[in-house]
Amino acid sequence: MNPAISDVRGLGPATVKVLAEAGFRTVASLANTSIEKLSATPDFGEARAASTIKAAAELLAASRKAKPARKTTTKAAEKKGKKQEE
């Protein structure tokens, strides 16, 4: 599951609304934007933009690491393995 933009450190409901109105609706959109673009958003100067981008990138990286590994074994491979063991 992808983290919500409201999970980014330092963002409250009012800020999330401002960001959505400016086109930032996902953590990835924040993490991948530039300081210049985000600082053009109301209530965001360069310092806040930089810290928000960093927090979004950290949250995104942590969420990617936390995802469980996909099971790659297929049913056919499992059946084949059982037949070989018999």
What is the structure's pLDDT at 19? 97
d(CA 16, CA 25): 8
Model pTM score: 0.74
Domains and CATH numbers, the chain: 5-66 (1.10.150.20)
Residue 43: name the closest of 64, 16, 69, 67 by CA: 16
Backbone φ and ψ of 25, nearest 5°? -120, -5
Q: What is the model's pLDDT at position 65?
A: 85
pLDDT band, very low/low/confident/very high, at 73 (cuts 50, 70, 90) = low
For the segment 29-72, what is each residue's pLDDT rounded down to a tens digit?
999 999 999 999 999 999 999 999 999 999 999 988 876 655 55
State the pLDDT at residue 62.
Answer: 92
